[in-house]
């Protein structure tokens, strides 16, 4: 085997090793639990959770938040399957610049709060 062949083989092996590390890193971060994924189930008595559990994309409803007594407009921005396989639903609370959102993901027979991976999106998957 000449030096050129050995160098080419070494380069290929380094490339494969790099690819394996990259894939391992993606698998590790892709399956990492989202903040709140191991937390308690969100109570279905929470009007935002109840809305998310039953609404379809684009649905709107006005509810009173029990924690503050504030009346807010809810809109289901999107529903999608997360990489974990869970169904997740993003709910916008309020409108305009004061709008906030909550992300809820299915967990067995209930829902858990999750941290959105991307902020400031247009609401389109």
Tens digit of each residue's pLDDT (9 = 90 or more) over 48-79: 999 999 998 889 999 999 889 999 999 999 99
Quick one: pLDDT band at residue 20, thresholds 50, 70, 90?
very low
pLDDT above 70: percentage of residues in the chain: 62
pTM: 0.60
Judge whether 87 and 94 are in contact, CB under 8 Å: no
N-term to C-term CA, the chain: 52
Tell me the mean pLDDT in the region 68-93.
92
Measured distance CA(86)–CA(79) in Å, rounded? 11
Domain boundaries along the sequence of the chain: 1-32, 47-114
Judge whether 96 and 87 are in contact, CB under 8 Å: no
Beta-carbon count within 10 A of 36 CB: 16
Q: What is the DSSP string of 51-76?
A: HHHHPPTT-EEEEE-TTT--EEEEEE
């Amino acid at each position: 085997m000449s030096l050129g062949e050995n160098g080419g083989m070494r380069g290929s092996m380094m490339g494969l090793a790099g690819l394996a590390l990259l894939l391992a890193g993606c698998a590790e971060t892709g399956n990492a639990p989202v903040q709140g994924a191991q937390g308690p189930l969100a109570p279905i008595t929470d009007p935002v959770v109840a809305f998310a559990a039953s609404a379809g994309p684009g649905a709107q409803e006005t509810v009173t938040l029990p924690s503050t007594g504030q009346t807010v407009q809810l809109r289901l921005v999107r529903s999608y399957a997360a990489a974990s396989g869970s169904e997740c639903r993003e709910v916008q609370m309020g409108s305009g610049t004061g709008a906030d959102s909550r992300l809820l993901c299915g967990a067995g027979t209930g829902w858990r709060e999750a941290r959105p991976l991307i902020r400031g999106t247009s609401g389109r998957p």
